[in-house]
Amino acid sequence: MLASTRPEIKVYKDPDCGCCNAWIDILQNSGFDASAHNVSRGALVRFKLDNGLNEEMMSCHTGVVEGYLIEGHVPPADILRLLKERPDAVGLTVPGMPYGSPGMGPETEREAYSVFLVRKDGTADVFAKYPAA
């Protein structure tokens, strides 16, 4: 049997969050093997902090794919780019919950937002920019 070529991403989230489920659906439709893991808000925040994400870079859910954190509504194409380039980093984040990001409403009504690459020293650089629609 052939091994799956779909990147596996585990998404840690609040059990009542609808936008997290919408993001997971987008990941699955984009070729990821995405699974939801419900955790308490306190445990989720502790997980983020323990794994190198500071509070200003946080969003609602946290995915883990091939050793990287994926925080918030990061577009699938950016996750694939991260996995291809393999930078020495904590992972990617879209802080907050910008309207029109994947899982947060229609892209045609998107507000401008950036995806940040979080480095292991806590600094962050813009990885991708999405202009307002």
Q: What is the pTM of this model?
A: 0.93
Q: What is the DSSP string of the chain?
A: -PPP-SPEEEEEE-TT-HHHHHHHHHHHHTT-EEEEEE--HHHHHHHHHHTT--GGG--S-EEEETTEEEESS--HHHHHHHHHH--SEEEEE--S--TTSTTSS-GGGPPPEEEEEEETTS-EEEEEEE---
Span 50-109, pLDDT tens digits:
999 999 999 999 999 999 999 999 999 999 999 999 999 999 999 999 999 999 999 999
Span 9-22, pLDDT tens digits:
999 998 888 888 99
